[in-house]
């Protein structure tokens, strides 16, 4: 994969995606065998540039970088007065001046990672760790990795797998990245949400749209529940949490309607009792903790493929 950056799933080819997933799998075998630390990125510096609070994602990237022996600089804007755009440029330039070669950026502004990669502000490799409502490519990759490990007969081609993503599609970068990546790999993706939580224009996505979870659930091989942000209720996206849980919550009889080999996924953090019941989260079919473990592997693969080989000019993306 001759790429300088990982900005979105939109830019990935099927071959790129499989290369990342294959690399993660080989890393999984190597590290299963008790190799806790690889020297690959020794002496290289990775910057965690987190303008939005996300302890899990940051720790996952940090663990990935450290297992590859990279030095990690953490920047967190939490609680600081960073709000103007200038700060992204200044902060990135400052951290590059400290030796950063690859920046993992989490930002509330859609497009922040692409802007950092294409504006000419810095020369570093850029990895998008979630930008606004736009994309979260490593989350989609770890989800694909998790699905693949449970359906070995679909190893190189997800054609025939049906994957449901339930909930707040409108505001979800996880949904955007997954809809793109899983479709690219061949899966049928069904987005299940009330019309208020689906974006205008979603009809042009390569997915099926449904408002009715019950009519879809028994056909799914994997179901991904998205986190419901409590502030959505105040904006009248749905009338009440109770009504949302009743219509779209993964609970009760819906769990029993699932195929026996279907897997239950959630990008975390969960609202137990809202989008997913405790029973669902803890069920044998739940792979939510595997997703977390796989996140480290996929992120190791991304870091290795972006900065492990010969230096690639970071202006633009080479193919």
Partner 1 sequence: MSVVLEQSEIERSLKRIAHEIIERNHGLDSVILMGIPTRGVTLAQRIGEFLRNIEKPVPVGTLDITMFRDDLRLRPPRALAKTEIPAEGIEGRDLILVDDVLFSGRTIRAALDAIGELGRPRSVQLAVLIDRGHRQLPIRADFVGKNIPTNARENVRVQLLEVDGLDQVEVGI
Partner 2 sequence: MSSADFLLRNVLTADQVRVDIEVVAGTISRIGGELTSPFPVVEGNQNLVLPGLVDLHTHLREPGKESSETVLSGSQAAVKGGYLALSAMANTSPVADTAGVVEQVARLGRDAGLCDVFPIGAVTVGLKGESLAELAAMAHSAAKVRIFSDDGNCVSDPLLMRRALEYVKSFGGVIAQHAQEPKLTSGAQMNEGVVSSRLGLKGWPAVAEESIIARDILMAQYVGSRLHICHLTTKGGVELVRWAKSQGMAVTAEVTPHHLLLTDELANSFDPVYKVNPPLRTQADVSALRAGLADGTIDIVATDHAPHPSEEKDCEWSAAAFGMVGLETALSVVVETMIDTGLMEWEKLVDRMSLAPAAIGGYEDHGAIAVGRPANFVVVNPKERWTVDRRTLQSKSSNTPFDGRSLPAKVVHAFYRGVQVLNDGQLTGSKYE
Contacts with partner 1, residue ranges (CB under 8 A): 1-2, 19, 22-23, 26-27, 29-30, 33-40, 68, 304-306, 308-312
Q: What angle do CA 231, 139, 309 make, to 5 degrees?
A: 145
Q: Which of 10, 159, 196, 218 binds partner 2 (CB under 8 A)?
A: 10
User: Shortest approach of partner 2 to residue 275 CB, angstroms?
Assistant: 20
Instruction: Tell me: does residue 135 bind partner 2 (CB under 8 A).
Output: yes
- The region of 195-203, 226-234, 284-292, 310-318 touching partner 2 under the rule CB under 8 A is 195-203
Query: Which of partner 2, partner 1, none lies near 112, with the C-beta cut-off 5 to 8 A by kind?
Result: partner 2
Distance CA 135, CA 149 (A): 23
Mask of contacts with partner 2, 164-183, x by CB under 8 A?
---------x--x-------
Distance CA 95, CA 113 (A): 15
Q: Which of 13, 55, 80, 119 binds partner 2 (CB under 8 A)?
A: 119
Instruction: Tell me: does residue 114 bind partner 2 (CB under 8 A).
Output: yes
- The region of 56-64, 200-208, 211-219, 275-283 touching partner 2 under the rule CB under 8 A is 200-208
Closest residue by Cα to residue 244 from 233, 234, 235: 233
CA distances from 105 to 52, 55, 136, 150, 183 (A): 9, 13, 10, 30, 25
User: Shortest approach of partner 1 to residue 23 CB, angstroms?
Assistant: 5
Q: Which residues pair with 47 in a beta bridge?
A: 73, 103
Distance CA 170, CA 209 (A): 13
Tokens representing 278 are 């405790």
Instruction: Tell me: does residue 237 bind partner 2 (CB under 8 A).
Output: no
Q: Which helix (H) or strand (E) holds 264?
A: strand 263-265
Instruction: Tell me: does residue 211 bind partner 2 (CB under 8 A).
Output: no
User: Shortest approach of partner 2 to residue 108 CB, angstroms?
Assistant: 8
CA distances from 7 to 118, 125, 240, 270, 300 (A): 10, 10, 35, 25, 16
Shorter beta-carbon distance to partner 2: residue 25 or 134: 134
Residues 6+ apart with CB under 8 A from 168: 175, 193, 197, 226, 227, 228, 229, 232, 237
Q: Which of 111, 186, 268, 308 binds partner 2 (CB under 8 A)?
A: 111
Instruction: Tell me: does residue 85 bind partner 2 (CB under 8 A).
Output: yes
Q: Which of 74, 108, 183, 285 binds partner 2 (CB under 8 A)?
A: 108
Instruction: Tell me: does residue 86 bind partner 2 (CB under 8 A).
Output: yes
Instruction: Tell me: does residue 298 bind partner 2 (CB under 8 A).
Output: no
Instruction: Tell me: does residue 58 bind partner 2 (CB under 8 A).
Output: no
Phi-psi region of 317 (alpha: psi -120 to 50; beta: other; left: phi over 0): beta
Distance CA 313, CA 176 (A): 28
User: Shortest approach of partner 2 to residue 284 CB, angstroms?
Assistant: 34
How far is C-alpha 286 from the geometric centre of its chain's CA atoms?
18
> Applying CB under 8 A, which residues contact partner 2?
10, 83-86, 88-89, 107-112, 114-115, 118-119, 131-135, 173, 176, 199-202, 204-205
């Amino acid at each position: 994969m001759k790429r300088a950056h990982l900005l979105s799933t939109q830019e990935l080819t099927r071959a790129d995606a499989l290369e990342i997933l294959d690399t993660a799998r080989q890393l999984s075998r190597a590290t299963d065998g008790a190799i806790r630390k690889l020297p690959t990125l020794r002496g290289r510096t990775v910057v965690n540039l987190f303008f939005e609070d996300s302890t899990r994602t940051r720790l996952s990237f940090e663990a990935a970088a450290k297992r590859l022996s990279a030095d990690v600089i953490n920047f967190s804007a939490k609680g600081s007065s960073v709000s103007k755009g200038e700060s992204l440029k200044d902060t990135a330039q400052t951290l590059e001046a400290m030796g950063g070669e690859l920046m993992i950026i989490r930002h509330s502004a859609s497009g922040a990672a692409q802007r950092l990669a294409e504006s000419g502000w810095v020369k570093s490799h850029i990895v998008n760790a979630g930008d606004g409502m736009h994309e979260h490519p490593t989350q989609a990759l770890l989800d694909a990795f998790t699905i693949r490990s449970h359906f070995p007969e679909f190893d190189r081609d997800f054609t025939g797998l049906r994957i449901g993503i339930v909930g707040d599609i409108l505001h979800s970068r996880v949904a955007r990245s997954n809809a793109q990546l899983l479709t690219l790999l061949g899966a049928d993706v069904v987005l299940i949400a009330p019309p208020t939580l689906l974006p205008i224009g979603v009809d042009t996505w390569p997915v099926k749209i449904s408002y009715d979870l019950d009519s879809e659930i028994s056909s799914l091989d994997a179901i991904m529940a998205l986190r419901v942000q409590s502030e959505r209720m105040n904006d009248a996206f749905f009338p009440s949490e109770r009504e949302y849980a009743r219509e779209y919550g993964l609970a009760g009889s819906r769990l029993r309607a699932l195929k026996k080999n279907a897997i239950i996924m959630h990008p975390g953090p969960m609202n137990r009792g809202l989008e997913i019941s405790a029973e669902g989260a803890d069920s044998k079919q739940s792979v939510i903790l595997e997703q977390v473990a796989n996140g480290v592997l996929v992120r190791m693969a991304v870091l290795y493929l972006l900065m492990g080989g010969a230096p690639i000019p970071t202006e633009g993306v080479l193919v």
